[in-house]
Amino acid sequence: MLYPMPFCPRLIPLVLLAATASVAQVEFRQEKEAVAVTIDGKPFTILKYGAPIGHPYLHPLLTASGKAVTRGFPDDPQEGELTTLPHQIGVWTGHEKVNDIDFWETHPTYKRNRKLGRVVFKDVTRMSPSKDQGELAFVADWVDPDGKAVITETERVLFYSTGTRTRMLDVEMVIHPNEKVTMSDHTDGIFGIRLGQRFEERNGGRVRNFSGTYGADRIYGQRSPWLSYEGDLGGEKVAVTLMDHPSNFNFPTRWHVRPWGNANASNFGETHFYHESPLKGKPLPTGWRDISVTLERGQEMRFRYRVLIHPADLDIDAAWREFAATN
């Protein structure tokens, strides 16, 4: 399959600027165990790191018109929402199998037959507001059950002022092993989002990939440079698109995608997709192989993703090409 190639090295996509009515201001406000992000005086999201989820996360994510696209539960439950899998909240990073330790399903209420780790926030290292884009950076440790920091993660989030129709953020995460680690082939990781009930297939939501295929079960485990959910928020047709950068390991990623609005860019996932439904029990296709990665202390891996909240009729291929062209 051919994928769209980069063509324009701009920070803010031209396809978005074409719809921009005014220039916004990205600002940050330090709160208790959180940092609130506003654009042009309007709330956009909050970096939360004090709640007992087991990892830092961005929640909620709001459209330019102020409507939440992420599930409220467990922070702010809404009527009709599913109330399972409380680790799936907002946008977060991690991986389920690092030296056989789970740094993904980190909620302390889980009782699993495996070692449960935590992604422990350490410090905000940069909080830089701007008229065009704002930068928020922080450090977190991936801590094993014995309290040892197996990995130190540095994360940098850019929030863009894209006007009155869209909202956009970029996440750049770097994994710094503090000892020899193996990032096992697994579907859960390394960048996830949980969307609200209007994006769920049971409520009329739809999810598609670059090839134009619709349906979570049909695109589960398939490669694509982007994945997009569509939903109707009170008459406003909204899409939330996740983008994988060409510099990422195993690009274009395979996607762990579910009909209830959960999607992961699973850059370390390949054979493990055939251990879970809807592929469980089917023969592994020719060429699929275990893609576990072992890193020594002093090595690192860098990943970049974009989340774009936009009108459903936006040209996603063009928007992805703009992202792909950034360094």
Residues 210-228: tens digit of each pLDDT: 999 999 999 999 999 999 9
19 pLDDT higher than 70? no
Question: In the structure encoding, which two tokens stand for residue 273, read together?
Answer: 């997709």
Question: In the structure encoding, which two tokens stand for residue 91, read together?
Answer: 């946008």
What is each CA distance from 291 to 109, 125, 236, in whole angstroms?
30, 32, 41
Cα gap 149→179, rounded to integer Å: 9
- pLDDT one-digit tens code per residue, 270-280: 999 999 999 99
- How many Cβ atoms are within 10 Å of 196's Cβ, its own excluded? 25
Q: Please identify which residue in the block is written with the tokens 């989002």.
A: 193
Name the pTM for this structure. Answer: 0.92
β-strand pairing of 26-31 with 34-39: antiparallel
Residue 117 · residue 103 · CB < 8 Å: yes
pLDDT at 157: 98
- pLDDT one-digit tens code per residue, 167-211: 999 999 999 999 999 999 999 999 999 999 999 999 999 999 999
- pLDDT one-digit tens code per residue, 89-145: 999 999 999 999 999 998 888 776 779 999 999 999 999 999 989 999 999 999 999
What is each CA distance from 231 to 65, 110, 168, in whole angstroms?
15, 30, 17
Q: Which residues contact 176 (CB under 8 A, 6 or more apart)?
A: 151, 152, 153, 154, 300
Architecture of the 14-324 domain: Distorted Sandwich (2.70)
The full DSSP string for 150-213 is: EEEEEEEEEEE---SS-EEEEEEEEEEESS-EEE-S-SSEEEEEEB-GGGSGGGT-EEEETT--
Enumerate the domain spans of the chain.
14-324
Cα gap 243→227, rounded to integer Å: 7
What is each CA distance from 285 to 73, 156, 268, in whole angstroms?
37, 36, 17
Question: In the structure encoding, which two tokens stand for residue 296, read together?
Answer: 């020594």
Average pLDDT over the chain, rounded to an integer: 92
Residue 167 · residue 64 · CB < 8 Å: yes
pLDDT at 50: 85
Rounded CA Rg of the chain: 19
What single-letter amino acid sits at 29? R
Q: What mean pLDDT is predicted for residues 313-326?
A: 96
